Amino acid sequence: MKKTGLTPIYYIVTLLGYVVMTLVYAIYLRYNLKHYKYGVIFGSALILYGYALLAYEYYKEWKIAIVEDKKLHIDNKYEKKETIKQEKQKVFQFVEFELVSKHFFKGHAVLCLFHALSFIIPINEHLKMTDITAVFGHFMVYNDIYLTFGYVLLLAYYVMYLIRNYEEAHKYFVNKLQVLGSGMLIYHYVKDIMYMLTL
């Protein structure tokens, strides 16, 4: 049975995206530790923790989705197949909405804190004014306020993130990873927006 919303491909790409971004900031943390940039070390550790936490939390959500998938399997040979299919779709849509709307993910809170602090103290060497989209995006998604708009803001952030790192991707390995990771997260947020619009 084809699910109506969040699919295994969605979770695989999302998890890989957050794992790649975790690797990126592990590299930056290692580099900053060598150069004793204490403010930036704190920033690198904070954003690394945020991405690692999101990778773990989306893995947990995927496991929940798999369990719910098994629970909601309908096997009634006395009913018409079309009726069964419609019932499944309605139930799956409800379950997926519950998973999406309950975004208690602490990783979003950590990343929101990182981007907000970046405008106050020097913890981010690559701060851009466009990072304000990440502050509001992570805040909205974490608090489940205007969820779709929060996804749109995060999509905008990662599109700009990809563009600015793409220019240096031919020079540095870490920029290649940033392009790869942000590309996966763009897919992730596009799917989230598309899914929310179908509810």
pLDDT in tens, 53-72: 999 999 988 887 777 766 66
Amino acid at 189: Y
pLDDT band of residue 34 (cuts 50, 70, 90) is confident
Number of H helices and E strands in the chain, helices first, is 7, 0
pLDDT band of residue 4 (cuts 50, 70, 90) is very low
pTM recorded for the entire structure: 0.81
Residue written as token pair 């695989």: 12
Nearest Cα neighbor of 18 from 61, 51, 63, 49 is 51
Mean pLDDT of 5-15: 86
Q: What is the pLDDT of residue 6?
A: 73
Q: Which two tokens stand for residue 127?
A: 């701060």
Residue boundaries of the structural domains of the chain: 8-198
Whole-number Å distance between alpha carbons of 152 and 187: 12
Whole-number Å distance between alpha carbons of 195 and 187: 12
Whole-number Å distance between alpha carbons of 123 and 38: 8
CB 169 within 8 A of CB 175: yes
pLDDT band of residue 183 (cuts 50, 70, 90) is very high
Whole-number Å distance between alpha carbons of 60 and 120: 33
pLDDT reading at 130 higher than 80: yes
Count the alpha carbons within 13 Å of 94 in the hemisphere toward its beta carbon: 6
Q: What is the pLDDT of residue 16?
A: 97
User: 62 or 101, which is more confident?
Assistant: 62
What H or E segment, with its residue span, contains residue 13? Answer: helix 8-35
